[in-house]
Amino acid sequence: MDMGVHLPGINFFVSTADPEKEPSPVTSNPILSILVAEYPVDKVACYVSDDGGALHSFQAMAEAASFATLWVPAILPEA
């Protein structure tokens, strides 16, 4: 029996406002950590709130997402 069936869903909220006060890694590193959590993928949601609406923050998160497609599968244990 799959133990993940009994786990609750988890929502993560990551917020950022000003890329000059909060450099991109301050926002992208927690998101990458969420992606590699040993938890059923269908039970995890990550929401990013950029209160400043900075283009730089958007571009940094797009880069983090691109990086994650290569990095996450490389470090997760095989199923």
Residues at the annotated binding site for UDP-alpha-D-glucose? Answer: 15, 21-22, 51
Q: Which residues are annotated as a binding site?
A: 15, 21-22, 51
Largest CA distance in the chain: 48
Tokens, residue 43: 């039970």
SS3 70: helix
Tokens, residue 61: 């998160």
